[in-house]
Amino acid sequence: MHSSSFISTNTKTMNQKKKSMSKRRAQILCCSSSNTSSYSPSPSISTTTTTSAPPIIKRRKRYRRQYPGESIGITEEMRFVAMRLRNVKGKKYTKDSLGEDEEEDDNLASDNDGDDGGVTWQPSMEGFLNYLVDSKLVFNTVERIVDESSHVAYAYFRKTGLERSEALEKDLEWLRQQGFVIPEPSGPGISYAKYLGELSEKSAPLFMCHFYNIYFSHIAGGQVIARQ
């Protein structure tokens, strides 16, 4: 009798637990369904973004414009610069006006030659050595300025093949081996080299005029000697 009553009470409690668990599941399902049905995306927010980045435009590389005659060679380029430097303040002189000026210069030169009483200048070995020593000092100064300066204008004139200081050093060394006494640089050579150093720091265009005059005179003179 007692066992049957115990079994009946156990079955009742188990049935009550099952009912409570089923009610909890139903409540959870109702809550989840209500949350999902109430959610709707905001119309202001777009779900898909189709914007594309603008194409990247590469900047074109600009090359320095060549000067007239530069493509042919340094001699032709220097010739063009020489013709341009003959114009004073941008004014172009005609051939006739230039001829008149040259005639006046020739007349002055002939008058000065007449004052010497017909004595002609004769070169000497001493003068030749002084010329080589002063030239070496000037070329050393010019090449050092161009190589060591931070100015952008001088960068185009490095390692051009026109350098002469090394060749002059070899010539002086050969003359020393022949028994000639190599003198020290003279006053004019020292003062001119000092002037070039000061001018290179003050004005690059003025220094380049001296640079052109020094190298072009040797190039032109060498070509004339080669033709003869």
Please answer whether residues 198 and 60 qualify as being in contact, where contact means their C-beta atoms are separated by less than 8 angstroms. no
Q: Are residues 90 and 173 in the same domain?
A: no
Residues 204, 173, single domain; the answer is: yes
Domain total in the chain: 2
Locus of tokens 């060591």: 148
169 and 140 in a common domain? yes
Q: pLDDT at residue 138 above 60? A: yes
Do 136 and 173 sit in the same domain of this protein? yes
Tell me, yes or no, whether 24 lies in a domain. no
Do both 170 and 207 map to the same domain?
yes
Which residue in 73, 55, 71 sits closest to 63, CA to CA?
71
Q: Which domain holds residue 90?
A: 66-105
Looking at the fold, whether 131 and 101 belong to one and the same domain comes out as no
- Note whether 130 and 225 are same-domain residues: yes
- DSSP state for residue 155 in the 8-state scheme: G
Residue 41 lies in a domain: no
- Cα distances from 165 to residues 38, 132, 138, 144, 168, in angstroms, run 93, 10, 9, 10, 5
pLDDT digits (tens, 9 = 90+) for 26-63: 565 555 555 444 455 555 544 555 667 777 777 776 66
Asked if residue 169 has pLDDT above 50, the reply is: yes
Residues 81-112: tens digit of each pLDDT: 666 655 555 555 554 554 555 555 555 445 55
Give yes or no: residues 158 and 95 share one domain. Answer: no
Whether the predicted pLDDT of 174 surpasses 90: yes
Query: What residues does 91 pair with on adjacent strands?
Result: 88
* 70 and 157 both lie in a single domain: no
Asked if residue 20 is part of any domain, the answer here is: no
72 lies in the same domain as 135: no
pTM: 0.47
